[in-house]
Structure formats: structure tokens, C-alpha cells
Amino acid sequence: MANPKRRFSQARTSRRFANWKLNLPGISLCPQCKHPRLSHTVCSNCGFYNNKLIISQVTKEFREKRKERKKEEMQRRLGGPPPEEKKKD
Ligand SMILES: [Zn+2]
């Protein structure tokens, strides 16, 4: 196996890691509702992109409800305690 002839100095290692940084994701305001959103993505608040309605609020509500139902079902299958006990007397 190929191996380096000499070990890298601490200075060289430090110099390499000095240029290793995270950068912020591109965040801009939605022109429709002024809610901050990721650039080039559909607004999560109003569902508009490029002044067109992509995800309607009805679809959004439906998806959220479906997500909740799936979550409850998973908890039921795993045998964990249900989030809210609904009992009818
Ligand atoms: Zn929006």
C-alpha cells in the first residue's frame, strides 16, 4: 500500500482545517407572504413558487393529517403508549 513518506506538520494540518467551514444555506423572503424560505424551493408557508400555486393549503392540511395518522399507527404497532387516549363511555 502507498504510504506518505513523511508525516504532515501540525502547521500544514492546521492550515488545511483553517479553510474548512460551513456556509449558510441561501435564505430569501417569499415574495407572496414574506416568510423566510430556502432559495429555489416552494414556500413551506403558502406553497407558492415563481408566483404560481404549487402546493395548495388543502393539500398541505391533508398531508399533515396523513402524517399524523401514520405516526399514530406506528406507535400503536410498536406497542408504545398512544399520544392521546380517546375513550368513549
Ligand atoms: Zn410564502
Mind listing the pLDDT tens digit for each residue in 28-50? Answer: 999 989 999 999 999 988 889 98
pLDDT of residue 87: 62
Q: Tell how far the Cα of 34 is from the centroid of ligand 1, in angstroms.
A: 6
Per cent of the chain over pLDDT 90 is 46
**Residue range 49-80, pLDDT digits in tens:** 988 888 888 888 888 899 999 999 998 888 86
What cell was used for 82? 398512544
pTM (2 decimals)?
A: 0.48
Specify the DSSP element, H or E, that contains 38. Answer: strand 36-38
pLDDT of residue 85: 60
Of 21, 46, 11, nearest in space to 32 by CA:
46
Q: Tell how far the Cα of 48 is from the centroid of ligand 1, in angstroms.
A: 6
Q: Tell how far the Cα of 59 is from the centroid of ligand 1, in angstroms.
A: 15
Q: Name the residue with cell 406506528.
A: 74
Q: Tell how far the Cα of 20 is from the centroid of ligand 1, in angstroms.
A: 33
